Structure 1
Amino acid sequence: MITSYALSASRNIFFKLFKQAYCKEAAPPKQSMLYDASLPFFNQRKQFSQQVTEIKSSDDGHSVTVLWDDGHKMKYPYIWLRDNCRCASCYDSPVATRKFLINDLDLDAKFKLSEQNAGELMFYGTEGHQTIIQSSWLRDKTFGTIDMGPVFDTKLWGADLLSYLPKFKYEDVLTDDEILYRWMQSVKIHGIALINDAPTHDDEELRNLTERIGHIRQTFYGVVFGVKSKKDTYFPGYTSAELPLHTDYTFGANTPGIINFHGLKRAPSGGKSMFVDGFKIANDLKASDPDAHRLLCTGVMSFGLVGFDCGRHFDNRGQSKIINLDKDGQVGKISFSQHARKDGIAKIPMEQVRSFYKAVQKFASVIYAPDNLLKFMIEEGDMVTVDNDRVLHGREKFQTDGSKERALHGAYFDHDEFESRLRILSKQFSKKHN
């Protein structure tokens, strides 16, 4: 008769021989706990991790289910675990880059056993490698999703936004990282953020603010561009006429993501700025007129701008849907400009052209509805930051008396720069402000 002690001893000998035969490149950590994929977990339980309470394999060994002590359970493909090994041979931790090449991944590898020690999970499979993964890292991973950093709940808004939108002091944003983080949160949540009390000497104030995030995006407008009345201009924003609501750079493939505006001089009469939440417009249209929404998500319009600026001629052209959906079917970008719209229309059958124009007209109308339109004066020393993929902006016409011209500075930077800076700050402040 074989005793339970003999069976247990036999299992331990099997695990030891398996690891010696197939996992020679790494020795097991001291005081670790060993699990066999073929045996019930509760029969192997000697020491218990504070985080992981159970690791078990699918019948074919191609997936692993991990259970944490808070009840969270997640299933992972074994080859995905192997691909994400964080041992020194597979991953260069100081620079957070892979050494392991996907070409070397054994697609037929199957999970056999595992152990854990001091927050590390070790997985062993038929490919003969000891896969090391931090349990805290794995706990935050949901297979099938892609982590792009901190997620903030988008808040749609209308004409009453100023009654609750936070305002920040220029010097605070420039010198205090926590205030900077809160200001960036406002851009993520509302698509717009406000700063007061900025100096109005020159373009250095706007450069300093933008460079708190990253590098300024230079375009044919220049690095920091001035918005004021000019003669013989190519752009209606450089006149005193009304500038219709629009998103910037619809005529380019690489659209600047964020715009910073800095008020230097206000016009003696008129010139209020206008802003609209394009995401709200898109969602309202989806609810009230699904056919119009569908056409605006389908039809492609052409945009362009031709002129001379910063010492060179340019001929910029672009194409886009007005409502662009992300991979989850949610609105991800608005692209619309009356003054830059050209003649090209694509992806709309001939028999639906009238319906498409009707949908565009409806969009162009509802953005001016009183409940949607936010309108205020950018005073001297004010700064307004908008997400160019979400918020349409424009300006009422204005008049000057010859002694005082309206002057506004602007600067772009890309979403990549913004998101990178936000991830860094989030590691320090997210628990305090989320």
Structure 2
Amino acid sequence: MWRGLRAALGWLSRLGGGGAPPAAMEPMERAVVRCVPSEPKLSLQLVLPDGSARYMQRDQAEPLGRALARIATNAAKGRAKAGKKSKKPRAEDGEAGEAELPEVRLFSRDGRAVSEEVPNAAAWQDGAVLQVGAARYRVERNPPALTELRLPRSLLAGFPVCPKVSAEFAAPQHCLFRWYRERLPQGGGEGPVWEEEREPEGGERVFTPSNALVGLRLKLRCTPGDGARRFGPPREVESSGPVEAGPGVCTFDARHLYTRKVCGRSSVRAVSYNILADTYAQTEFSRTVLYPYCAPYALEVDYRQNLLKKELAGYNADLICLQEVDKSVFTDSLAPALDAFGLEGLFKIKEKQHEGLATFYRRDKFSLLSQHDIAFSEALLSEALHAELRDKLGQYPVVRDKVLQRSSVLQVSALVDASGAACRANRSL
């Protein structure tokens, strides 16, 4: 008891000298500050005492006092709007107007007032306390935040569902995931009821729905984290459609029997695969000549991505080289999915095309030293190394023109592991 009393008396003495009460003494609202060194401005978000949400952008080099003055002005305006119906006459002179401004101050984590001459970038530190009149706010600088959370449009029973997770000041491997299944309401209730998945996968980033979920939708709740015990506000996303029945046994299931585990450090498992870009699969020629035996739904990119992601993940490869990869497929489907299985992705689009090459390497085995993307036609024309080939082609103008019109590219990645450097090339002619 005496220790608590001494602490309180100590706080009162500091308050007289410009201090602030400890953060633990009362619950506080949040003042979220986003400050990135590469950007000239920082942003501040908070809900003022009158209940209005405010979003401010200030120069990082600006003195703190100007930002605090703007907050005071906004708070006074909000209070005036809230008291619109009051019959109290408005002040006519400037001094009276200024007197209505609330006191706004910023205190560091140790309770000392921050000088108003300090630049914004240095003043707004994580754990600081902002005082706006009688209200207090805990400053959260660059807290984990989700910028995108999306589920695939097609969900198949027995096939992994890999969400696209984009975050700022956070990493997917440090986020918290909770999956929910739809439980149809009984007795004509309004809206679906969500039931949390209790299976081991219910708390994992990747979730594989069972046959029992066919006909039901899924919901994912993600809480962003940064690995330093800081978590941001969660976000939820519901699937656009229900889980559908899978195709049953696939041809790659037998191959997966030999690739159940990742290779040891002394060996490397590589996979190369032309996955047929959607831009080619949806042509009339493809449907009627190349793949007339294939049902139309099986040529749809969302359906094929389910099969492809399960097949690639099941190989537990260290290196994956893919050709004919749609740019959107890489960005929205393959990169997020294979990232969840520990693979980092690189992409090179073909010239004047919507598809290109993708390379994935296992993060815990390889590090990327450099990436070298080569356009064949450009290299043929510009590099002295190919002078002899240029001369040969010059003898056949028709052939030369055909070669130069090709959009073929070469994707070269220099990787390093514990044993040394390795060079990997991926190409589609």
Tell me, yes or no, whether TM beats 0.5: no
Name the structure, 1 or 2, with higher relative contact order (CA <8 Å, separation 6+).
1
TM normalised by structure 2 equals 0.29
